[in-house]
Structure 1
């Protein structure tokens, strides 16, 4: 493998990993939106934006709160 091919392969792998992470975050966000809508009714655009722009770590922190939160504020605290 040439140096150029190795650089290209690394770039491809990084891009693939970033794309996969973004897709995973988007999927988790949409599931959280569905769960919160069932619990709290329609969500405001501000809440939707906050959820959809969250990173995977934040989404993972919020998700279990679906079982205990009594308000949107508590859910996203």
Structure 2
């Protein structure tokens, strides 16, 4: 038996699929972190200003940093300082 022949087209499709899956997973992880951080912010500071959720979604690379700041912040502004 001969191994199946995989065309360059099939390889490109498979590579695109893997890349797309990785991007989707990263976006989903960031969304989950943002939702958890939003919930924690509400629990600590009460009702949040409009746009806070959008603000979190715009900085997915900083969500871990913001979550750490939340632990010691006395105000919402302290969480987002140096933004």
Tell me if both proteins adopt one fold, taking TM over 0.5 as the criterion: yes
Tell me which of 5, 11, 18 is aligned to 1:6.
11
Paired residues in the alignment total 76
TM-score, with length taken from structure 1: 0.91
- Structure with more helix by fraction: 1
4+ long deviations beyond 3 Å: none
What's the C-alpha RMSD, in Å, of the aligned pairs? 1.0
Secondary structure at the aligned position of 2:47 is classed as coil
TM-score, with length taken from structure 2: 0.85
Relative contact order: is structure 1 or structure 2 higher (C-alpha 8 Å, sep ≥ 6)? 1
